[in-house]
Structure 1
Amino acid sequence: MVFVSAYFSGSETGMMTLNRYKLRHQAKSGHRAARRVEKLLRRPDRLISLVLIGNNLVNILASSLATIVGMRLYGDAGVAIATGILTFAVLVFAEVLPKTVAALYPDKVAYPSSLLLGPLQIIMMPLVWLLNSITRVLMRMVGIKTDAAISSALSKEELRTIVYESRSLMSNRNQDMLLSVLDLEKVNVDDIMVPRNEIVGIDINDDWKSIARQLSHSPHGRIVLYRNSLDDTVGMLRVREAWRLMTEKKEFNKETLLRAADEIYYIPEGTPLNTQLVKFQRNKKKVGLVVDEYGDIKGLVTIEDILEEIVGDFTTSMSPSLAEEVMPQSDGSVLIEGSANIREINKAFNWTLPEEEARTINGMLLEVLQEIPSANTRVKIGNYDIDILDVQENMVKQVRIKPKKTVKESVGS
């Protein structure tokens, strides 16, 4: 009876400890044992009732038999002796040992157990049904809903935890890419856009030689065409198309250039990256201008910028990489360019610099100070000491940031 009880205890723990997503994958792949177990777990209430019925029956029977044997051998004292011995045997051999083994190796316990549990469930179905019916009635009497659906869907935070715990099964690069996909909705176009002052464009009112020279030396695939000011955009020109027209047409002038330009695609500020990626795909666009609520242009975003958020920087990127903008020092501080992206710095150094109001170090300092600072100024923001080293052209060019030690770190050191 003790060994039978161990079988039921181990089977219950093994079934409930199984990785449901791994089980589902194996079942879809045609694994017979996985299919049997998945079928049993579709109604966990029936499975638990079956296991408990079997476990309690054999335990009660074992107790009765031990009591009879004890009384025949030692009289009234035999009841106490049998109780002590049976309690020890049940705890060790029918509960702790089988459940521990099943928790450590759920696949090896649950799959073979399903061979017997399946037929047993059919044989004992009337008793299982009666027990479940009584249980549901009692639960309803105390106000517990019995028809609540149990969802197996995972939240984004749960998916993130699974990715973190799969470190030994995938490369760090693939792990970072999966985490970046989950973070897309937390990042919007304002965080990755090329700011207005860095947008490369051609003033269509310039003389033709200047326009041709800019086209010939452009490092970008697309260029904004505008009149006098970037606020008066007239189109988005594909440089490759312009080069083709230069070589094929004898007459290549401003009118030809304007006809070759595509219509400007505008993106509202604050659009999450996952939403914008879908919009780029749906509208068959690769680049757009970010505008605020008043229609003023704030920056430029390309589909490559969004993809870089997932897979990392491309070698063809014209913007400086984070490695070129930061320089860690031996004293624990970091020299950082004022144009460096705050979010990338936080990710790289596991910092918590404020990134809600500004996207660059320069913007953050201007937001905090409400004025253009002078060089050799020290600013404290949160847990960071920031020394402003260089200010040029109304912009902070370089700073030194050093995180202050917390109380825990000071005690530990």
Structure 2
Amino acid sequence: MEAISTTTLSLILLGLIILSGFFSSSETGMMSLNRYRLKHLSKNKHRGAIQTQKLLERPDRLIGLILIGNNFVNIAATVIATYICERIWGPAMGAIIATFGLTFIILVFSEVTPKTLAALHPEKIAFPASYILKPLSVLLIPFVKGLNAITNGLLRLFGVRVDDGLEDHLSSEELKTVVAEAGAMIPKRHKNMLVSILDLEKVTVEDIMIPRSEITGINLDTHIDEIINQMKNAVHTRLPVYQDEIDNIKGFLHARQMIKLLAYDEENLNKEAIIDAMTPVYFIPEGTPLNTQLLNFQRKKHRIGLVVDEYGDILGLATIEDILEEIVGEFTSDFAESSKDIQKEENGSIIIDGSATIRDINKTLQWKLPTDGPKTLNGLIIEYIEAIPKAGTGMRLSGYPMEILQVKANMVKSVRVWPGLYMEAKETD
């Protein structure tokens, strides 16, 4: 180096510091990339993304390549800096100045600054860097493979296999986090729908079904005139047809068939014609997750089914519309229409029907009543009190002050809740 001027050595040192910053920023940029966005860009034929994805297929080799380059330039920079400082300030003082000065310069200009920049803008750093790292990986492949053989061997001694971490897998909870952190890139309504789809496996048909006591159907034991009147005033598209009681179900009668029957010959309409127009009954076992039932509806071309328990007794009625509402929300924005069981009063209280499901209450009012037990408010109150309460009974259930307004046939029919008092109590805790 005696023949090389100090100016030339300084320029070489500057180039090595820049190279050190390049390798440091490349490492951080590559590791900070959003892998799913990278896959998306690769599918759209983005050249930088394609190059980067190929490098990241073997992260052990990529890291080995970057560290070989980074350590080489840092050691070379140390040697040249020490030589320059010793030439100017002498051996003793030059070594000290070179050590502290180069440490500061590398930390600021080759480590912290470029790595921070790469962490903030990984794509702007990683994609251009891939055009340099790719040919460099081919050139240094013997050194990289040799280094990986040693490091991977050491990792295996500790029970770590490099191949196990090469695939990206997301659980449903992790996918929810990805959706939640998407920010303005995904509209809030779309986020809610995506999260609802992921939550379908946690919800069963009992959570969304119409309870047995609220099923409206045609009883073949009633007079034909009453049946005709019921068909004329039907508010549902499909009505179950049964004999004597709902457990003795015969089939479903669609609104189109009702119109045909009434339009064809209402005066001579008989029960046999109604039975002939029915469609078969589709039964749903209790405990079926909604994601499974949605697929079952699709495969079997059904839109409605009766939920039955292990003894074959009918528990309720579920439709494909009920499942879709779990994903997209209620099909009406009017509060009174969307939840007829929940009525807001002018004084700030809320009157809730005892048959209202806990899930509907939580969704409509944004409450957090427990959903891992009884499905209805009546069931939740009875479980909490461990007895059939009387009208006028007051309690605080999950923080919500409640007053039972009406009890009939051993069931809580209506409850008044004062949500404002819950908020005050929560704030004072």
TM-score (norm 2): 0.89
Structure 1's 408 and 399: CA in aligned 2 closer, same or farther, altered over 3 A?
closer
Matches within 5 A, 1:175-194: 175-194=191-210
1:61 is aligned to 76
The answer to whether 1:410 aligns with 2:422 is no
Paired position in structure 1 for 2:283: 266
Deviations 1:316-361 (A, max 9, x none): 99x9523871427877x64433333211322344433122332222
CA distance in 2, matches of 1:308, 1:173: 13
**Is the partner of 1:148 in helix, strand or coil?**
helix
Which among 229, 236, 248 is matched to residue 232 of structure 1? 248
Question: In the alignment, which residue of structure 2 is the partner of 1:18?
Answer: 33
Is the contact made by 2:400 and 2:417 (CA closer than 8 Å) also made in structure 1?
no
Amino acid aligned to 1:54:
G
In 2, the alpha carbon distance for the partners of 1:395 and 1:86 equals: 79
Q: Which of 308, 319, 333 lines up with 1:302 in the alignment?
A: 319
Q: Distance between the aligned counterparts of 1:408 and 1:234, measured in 2?
A: 52
Q: Which 10-residue stretch deviates more, 46-55 or 135-144? A: 135-144
Which residue of the partner structure matches residue 135 of structure 2? 119
Q: Which moved more, 1:55-64 or 1:67-76?
A: 67-76
Deviates more, 1:244-253 or 1:109-118: 244-253
Q: Which residue does the alignment assign to 1:104?
A: 120
Alignment-derived partner of residue 163 in structure 1? 179
1:14 is paired with a residue whose SS is: helix
1:189-221 residue CA offsets vs partner (Å, 9 max, x unmatched): 111111111111111121111111111111111
Alignment of 1:343-382 (within 5 A): 343-382=359-398
State the alpha-carbon separation in 2 of the partners of residues 163 and 177 from structure 1: 10
Contact in 2 for aligned 1:335/1:401 (Cα 8 Å): no
Contact 1:9 1:95 in 2 (8 A): yes
Alignment of 1:245-324 (within 5 A): 245-248=261-264, 251-315=268-332, 320-322=337-339
Question: What displacement does 1:147 show?
Answer: 3.7
Match of 1:7 among 8, 19, 22: 22
Is the 8 Å Cα contact of residues 167 and 175 (structure 1) preserved in structure 2?
A: no
Q: Deviations over 1:93-116 (max 9, x none)?
A: 000000000111111111111111
- Once the 2 structures are TM-superposed, how far is the Cα of residue 174 of structure 1 from its aligned partner? 1.4
8 Å contact from structure 2 (residues 332, 338) kept in 1: no
Name stretches of at least 5 consecutive residues in structure 2 with no aligned partner. 1-15
Q: How does 1:127-206 map to 2 (within 5 A)?
A: 127-206=143-222
Pair 1:408–1:245, CA change in 2 (3 A): closer
Question: In structure 1, the residue corresponding to 2:218 is in which secondary structure?
Answer: strand
What TM-score results when the alignment is normalised by the length of structure 1? 0.92
1:207/1:334 CA distance change after superposition, 3 Å: closer
Which sits farther off after the overlay, 387-396 or 205-214? 387-396
Tell me which amino acid in the other structure corresponds to 1:65. I
CA drift at 1:243: 1.6
C-alpha RMSD over aligned residues: 2.5
Q: CA deviation at 1:389?
A: 3.2
The range that moved more, 344-353 or 259-268, is: 344-353
Contact 2:341/2:352 (8 A) holds in 1: no
2:428 maps to a residue whose letter is S
Deviation at 1:252, TM superposition (A): 3.0
1:39 aligned partner, one-letter code = K
> Is the Cα contact below 8 Å between 1:390 and 1:399 reproduced in 2?
no
Give the Cα–Cα distance (whole angstroms) in 2 for the partners of residues 358 and 208 of structure 1. 39
Contact 1:277/1:303, CA 8 A, preserved across alignment: yes
C-alpha offsets along residues 252-294 of structure 1, whole Å, 9 cap, x if unaligned?
3211111111111111111111111111111111111111111
Which of residues 381, 392, 405 is equivalent to 1:389? 405
Aligned residues: 410
Asked whether the 8 Å contact 1:280–1:303 carries over to 2, the reply is yes
Distance 2:333 2:365 in 1: 25
Equivalent pair of 2:341/2:356 in contact (CA under 8 Å): no
User: Are the equivalent residues in 1 in contact too, given 2:24–2:70 (CA < 8 A)?
Assistant: yes
Contact 1:355 1:364 in 2 (8 A): no
CA apart distance, 1:362? 2.0
- 2:344 is matched with 327
Paired residues of 2:357 and 2:377 also in contact (CA < 8 A)? yes
- Classify the secondary structure of the residue corresponding to 1:200: coil
Q: How much has 1:47 moved relative to structure 2? A: 0.8
Residue 339 of structure 1 is matched in structure 2 by 355
Residue identity in the other structure for 1:229: E
Distance change >3 Å, CA 400–CA 261, structure 1 → 2: same
The aligned counterpart of 1:86 is 102
> Relative to structure 1, is the Cα distance of residues 142 and 324 closer, same or farther in structure 2, using a 3 angstrom cutoff?
closer
**In 1, Cα distance between the equivalents of 2:333 and 2:277?**
25
Give the AA of the match of 1:185.
E
Deviates more, 1:352-361 or 1:386-395: 386-395
Structure 2 contact 262–269 (Cα < 8 Å) conserved: yes
Which residue type is aligned with residue 20 of structure 2? S
Give the conservation status (yes or no) of the 8 Å contact 1:337–1:399. no
Q: Is the 8 A contact 1:327 1:334 kept in 2?
A: yes
